[in-house]
Amino acid sequence: MNFKTENIIKSGFGILAFSSLLFLLGIIVILFKEGLPIFKYVKLFEFIGGKFWYPTYDPPDFGILPLILGTFWVTIGAMFIAVPVGLGSALYLHEIAGYRERAVLKPIIELLAGIPSIVYGFFGMVILAPFLQRLLNIPIGLCLFTASFILGIMAVPTVSSLAEDALDYVPKSFREASFAVGANRWQTLVKVVIPAAGSGISTAIILGVSRIVGETMTVLMVAGGAAVIPKSLFGPVRPMTATIAAEMGEAVVESAHYHALFGIGLILFLITLIFNMIAEMIGRRYRLKLGLGR
């Protein structure tokens, strides 16, 4: 291959790589441009701390605290499922499962990630919610608990496969050294392998959180959708993503409501951005500590 074609191919791929940067910049610019005007109508504190979300009344209330707390509690609840199940399956796959089990289990867990979120939502709405409602004798199945449960399952593959990668990164020499000084399998796992993979495992959990925070279709269908500060595990909630999805189609363009929805999007974006940055930072620090340099 001559020099010229190589250069063309190089720059071609370069453009493709940088195009995602362009998309990201475009999204950020639009989010700020359309989101910031809401602060002409309400103050930042009233927006984030306000307890009432009545965007279409006269006068309207643009308080998104119930929405933020909705997202917050759903995420916490989902972590109670995603973290134990995700980490547990990663540990099992990596430490205990034989070659054959692994060959079956790993693709199945990853298949969970491939199911469209609307299918999860549909399953939750039509099957799980009525079932839980009868089982627990609660007034309504569309609630914080159901949403958390389903989102937790949805985040399992993210947590599991990233955590397993982290376990894989732990150098063999660590394990061998531990066995050499007489530690048994459990001691090696708890005292050496897991701490060494700690960064990767935290990254896995944080990216799992990001996935849950950003999930839209499922919460729109199963969370109940009441914009109220959640008081019980079995009460309805309205996460931020669901609010945007449900209302954007009907909001008058350039109205206060429209800007408020973009404002919510902006805050969501900042939340996931912070999570991803933390994940990146933790990852870098621990890798240096391990002497992996990557």
Q: How far is the CB of 21 from another protein (least distance, A)?
A: 34
In the complex, what is the shortest distance from the CB of residue 224 to another protein, in angstroms, rounded to a whole number? 5
Q: Whose Cβ is closer to another protein: residue 207's or residue 219's?
A: 219
Closest contact distance (angstroms) between CB of 259 and another protein is 14
- Choose the binding region for another protein from 14-22, 53-61, 191-199, 280-288 (rule: CB under 8 A): 53-61
Among 246, 269, 272, 276, binds another protein (CB under 8 A): 246
Residues 3 and 109: their CA atoms lie apart, in Å, by: 45
Taking the complex as a whole, the smallest distance from the CB of residue 255 to another protein amounts, in Å, to 9
Identified binder of another protein from the candidate list 11, 19, 56, 187, rule CB under 8 A:
56
Q: Is 54 in the site for another protein (CB under 8 A)?
A: yes
Q: Which is nearer to another protein, 192 or 226 (CB)?
A: 226
Q: Is 221 in the site for another protein (CB under 8 A)?
A: yes
Pair 225, 242: CB distance under 8 Å: yes
221-243 burial, b for 16+ CB within 10 Å, e for fewer?
Answer: bbbbbbbbbbeeebbbbbbbbbb
259 contacts another protein (rule: CB under 8 A): no
Near another protein by CB under 8 A: residue from 42, 78, 79, 142: 142
Interatomic CA distance for residues 76 and 71, integer angstroms = 9
- Contact between 255 and 189 (Cβ < 8 Å): no
**Contact between 252 and another protein per CB under 8 A:** yes
Interface residues with another protein (CB under 8 A)?
52-57, 66, 125-126, 129-130, 133, 139-142, 220-221, 224-228, 235-236, 238, 245-247, 249-252, 257
